[in-house]
Amino acid sequence: MMDLFQMPISNISGVSNARLTYFQKLGIFSVGDMLYFFPKSYENRMNQKCVANLSDEETATVTVRILDVSSRRVRQNLTLISAMAEDETGTLKITFFNQKYLINQLKVGQEITVFGKVSRRIGYFEMTNPAIQKAVARGDFSENYIPKYPLTKGLTQGVMQKVAHGCLLVAKEHLQETLSFDIRKKYHLCELLYALENIHFPTGEEELASAKKRLVFEELFYLMLGLGKLKLKQKKAAGPKLVNYKIAEEFAKQLPFPLTDAQKRVTREICYDFKQGYQMNRLVQGDVGSGKTMVAAMAMLICAQSGYQAVLMAPTEILARQHFEGLKPYFDAFGVSVELLVSSMKKKEKTAVQNGLHTGEISLVIGTHALIYDTVQFQKLGLVITDEQHRFGVKARAELTKKGENPHCLVMTATPIPRTLALIIYGDLDVSVIDELPKGRIPVVTRIASETQRELVYSFVSKELAKKNQAFVVCPLIEESEALDAENAIRVQEELQTRYLKEYRIGLLHGKMKADEKDAVMNQFASGEYDVLVSTTVVEVGVNVPNATVMVIENAERFGLASLHQLRGRVGRGQKKSYCFLNLADVKAKKRLEIMEKTTDGFQISEFDLKHRGPGEFFGTRQHGLPSMRLSNLTYSMETVRLAKEAAETVLSEDCDLVLPKNKKIRTSVEKMFSENEFVSQL
């Protein structure tokens, strides 16, 4: 049987040489690529009605007979084609703009089926620019789910549908089933060909659901197998034995606040890993302000006191500096040397740190990607910590761990993910959760504001600034976009400076700025040189400005709940009462965002998100380096995720290396999924 991923898409009718480049822009190079390039949505034409039962503003399908057709030129660039049509119950007017060819296709007496949005007029209904097909009997749904694909310039839905049809015809001859009969039977999964046919051109709701279940299950099944194999392999790797745990207790006594029970529990879990003699690979997941950094500091201190070196890598220079400045006094108190290593340091400074790490004079180092350069060598690296893990590639972490002999790995994230899902998404890591905030934290007051309340919001901001406090204003876009009617950082900065906050100093921060420019602006804001910082979501990670008491998020409906929660975490970091305003341009989003007003518990928010949007959204927060999920745009249930994990665990318990003949196809599929991925060398 032919491998459809080796068959060029140019073999399919409709893919001319001129169009080939457009398909490749979408990542479609082969027939297999097109089969797994799934529609983003469907036009559901199953709502077939007679004219008399139509309602204003609904989208429906109607079969009618044409009574007359006319054409008129409204102005130079606009031609109007109108057709009056009827069924046995009423009259429907059909109007088309700039589709002159229809004057020769629409014939009096012809029966057609039209699909579109209905508008009520006096004495009749009207559809504007509806989709047309040959008349079908009411109840005949053979073409009533029309796929809508992601497009690029040069391709239309019609072309994509035609090419998908062509690929499915080839699949009937050459497609190989990938899951065994036993797995399909146990988990009630349809055959692969049936699934692909019905994901592209579903014949009904049940068929579409069946196709999604099979394809989602299979993708997650391979993902769990790959991560499961990696975890089993890591468990066998010998790691440094770190035994000086008393130092953690002494460290805790030096802190000006007591550790929470959750911090103590997670520290015990890390210490347990340290004494096993195997390499630790653990995720510490904790909400904003839960105290992950102090847990990391205790782990670093244990490592240093056990005769090894430890490294903490942060995603931005400002966060690395904050960690260094915050932790250095504690490490100094125990006589443990710690240094900073970031790209902006002078060459002489960097060389001194590199020499100290190589000789072992420096026990601990905190820095950025500068740590993974070849010039950085450790004498005896025992622990690697990465902060805000999802901001790093797996490759970056792997490069750092290669600088030691199986050093322990601790990864930290402030992105709350429900524990049941975290155990799956981070299938190659053990998971610890700091699910408790330190006592005395003042919750951030959150309020949703409509467009009409925007002036009131900025009036409040002005009052906070008058108290010598600072404010963040976050926007979803950098520049104007016709596609998205959203506020943008550049325009908002100008608007605030000329209208709402004229007398205050306003800085601008966005992703198109160079790294050193971003750091400079952020440092100026942190030091109080700016009263307000207008920013895109680049401000989401690692900014600690205790004097900032207000966060305004423009077009909050454009953000996911997790992002909103992360952004809100930029304020309320001091002892002052803080506020977060979610400014909405679309009031329809208010209901979804109300959870933000009710709680500041990130895990509670993530549970709400999981319940209402399904688990697919969370896989994107995993980390760079995870195989791309083809079905990430489809909704599916946690039950499907759970069953896929169960199936993967069963297979690995019987055949951890997937070498049995019955698992040959599974092994091939897993390796293919991870083939362009940084994990593959570790499988």
Does residue 421 fall inside a structural domain?
Answer: yes
The model scores a pTM over 0.75:
no
Query: Minimum mean pLDDT among 158-162, 207-211, 470-474, 520-524: which range?
Result: 520-524
Amino acid at site 184: R
Cite the beta strand spans of 389-497 per DSSP E: 408-413, 430-434, 445-449, 470-474
What CATH number corresponds to the domain at position 308?
Answer: 3.40.50.300
With a CB cutoff of 8 Å and minimum separation 6, the contacts of 160 are 147, 149, 151
| Longest Cα–Cα distance in the chain | 94
Cite the beta strand spans of 98-149 per DSSP E: 111-121, 124-128, 131-134, 145-148
Amino acid at site 85: A
Does residue 378 share a domain with residue 252? yes
What's the pLDDT score for residue 79? 86
Does residue 36 share a domain with residue 91? no
Q: Which helix (H) or strand (E) holds 383?
A: strand 381-386
Does residue 91 share a domain with residue 13? no
Strand-strand pairing, 41-44 and 59-75: unpaired
**Residue bearing the bigger pLDDT, 301 or 415:** 301
What is the number of other CB atoms lying within 10 angstroms of the CB of residue 316? 22
What's the pLDDT score for residue 137? 47
**pLDDT tens digits, one per residue of 436-484:** 888 877 889 999 999 899 999 999 999 999 999 999 999 886 555 544 4
Does residue 177 fall inside a structural domain?
Answer: yes
Say if residues 336 and 304 touch (Cβ distance below 8 Å): yes
Reported as a pLDDT band with limits 50, 70 and 90, residue 162 is very high
Using the structure block, give the residue that is written with the tokens 């056990």.
306
Residues 517, 235: Cα–Cα separation, whole Å? 43
Q: Which helix (H) or strand (E) holds 218?
A: helix 205-235
Q: Which residue, of 549, 579, 599, is where some domain finishes? A: 599
Residue 158 has, within 13 A of its CA and on its CB side, a CA count of: 4
Reported as a pLDDT band with limits 50, 70 and 90, residue 608 is confident
**Residue bearing the bigger pLDDT, 609 or 564:** 564
**Size (the chain), residues:** 683
- Of 166, 165, 196, 163, whose CA–CA distance to 178 is shortest? 196
- For the segment 554-567, the average pLDDT, to the nearest whole number, is 88
What's the pLDDT score for residue 540? 55
Q: Is the pLDDT of residue 339 over 80?
A: yes
Q: Roughly what angle, to the nearest 10 degrees, separates helices 205-235 and 638-654?
A: 40
Does residue 670 fall inside a structural domain?
Answer: no
**pLDDT tens digits, one per residue of 649-661:** 999 999 988 999 9
Does residue 316 share a domain with residue 195? no
Does residue 21 fall inside a structural domain?
Answer: yes
Reported as a pLDDT band with limits 50, 70 and 90, residue 485 is very low
Strand partners, 124: 121
Does residue 223 fall inside a structural domain?
Answer: no
Does residue 167 share a domain with residue 79? no
The token pair at 637 is: 């249930």
The token pair at 498 is: 């000329």
Residues 616, 242: Cα–Cα separation, whole Å? 38
Does residue 298 share a domain with residue 358? yes
Reported as a pLDDT band with limits 50, 70 and 90, residue 138 is very low
Does residue 574 share a domain with residue 498? yes
With a CB cutoff of 8 Å and minimum separation 6, the contacts of 520 are none
Does residue 589 share a domain with residue 452? yes
- For the segment 149-170, the average pLDDT, to the nearest whole number, is 92
Q: Which helix (H) or strand (E) holds 596?
A: helix 590-598
Does residue 171 share a domain with residue 36? yes
Does residue 301 share a domain with residue 281? yes
Domain count, the chain: 4
Does residue 189 fall inside a structural domain?
Answer: yes
- Of 640, 638, 629, whose CA–CA distance to 609 is shortest? 638
Does residue 341 fall inside a structural domain?
Answer: yes
Reported as a pLDDT band with limits 50, 70 and 90, residue 520 is confident
Reported as a pLDDT band with limits 50, 70 and 90, residue 140 is very low
- Of 239, 227, 311, 313, whose CA–CA distance to 272 is shortest? 239
Residues 31, 3: Cα–Cα separation, whole Å? 9
**pLDDT tens digits, one per residue of 113-129:** 888 899 998 888 999 99
Q: Which residue, of 531, 564, 599, is where some domain finishes? A: 599
Does residue 422 share a domain with residue 317? yes
Instruction: Look over the chain and give the mean of its residue pLDDT values, rounded to a whole number.
Output: 86
- For the segment 194-218, the average pLDDT, to the nearest whole number, is 92
With a CB cutoff of 8 Å and minimum separation 6, the contacts of 337 are 331, 356, 361, 362, 363, 364
What's the pLDDT score for residue 336? 94
**pLDDT tens digits, one per residue of 8-50:** 999 999 999 999 999 999 999 999 999 999 998 888 777 788 9
Residues 413, 333: Cα–Cα separation, whole Å? 27
What's the pLDDT score for residue 379? 95
Reported as a pLDDT band with limits 50, 70 and 90, residue 348 is very high
The token pair at 34 is: 């097109």
Using the structure block, give the residue that is written with the tokens 């092994």.
667
What CATH number corresponds to the domain at position 78?
Answer: 2.40.50.140
Using the structure block, give the residue that is written with the tokens 């014949």.
203
What's the pLDDT score for residue 186? 95
**pLDDT tens digits, one per residue of 102-116:** 888 889 999 998 888
Residues 292, 134: Cα–Cα separation, whole Å? 63
What's the pLDDT score for residue 224? 86
Say if residues 380 and 404 touch (Cβ distance below 8 Å): yes
Q: Which residue, of 412, 434, 456, is where some domain finishes? A: 434
Residues 90, 86: Cα–Cα separation, whole Å? 6
The token pair at 168 is: 């499915």
Reported as a pLDDT band with limits 50, 70 and 90, residue 578 is very high
Does residue 471 share a domain with residue 412? no
- Domain that residue 17 falls in: 9-43+148-216
Q: How far apart are the first and last CA of the chain?
A: 27
Cite the beta strand spans of 452-491 per DSSP E: 470-474
Strand-strand pairing, 408-413 and 338-341: unpaired
What's the pLDDT score for residue 483? 43
- For the segment 224-245, the average pLDDT, to the nearest whole number, is 81
How many Å separate Cα 206 from the centre of its chain? 28
Does residue 613 fall inside a structural domain?
Answer: no
Residues 664, 27: Cα–Cα separation, whole Å? 27
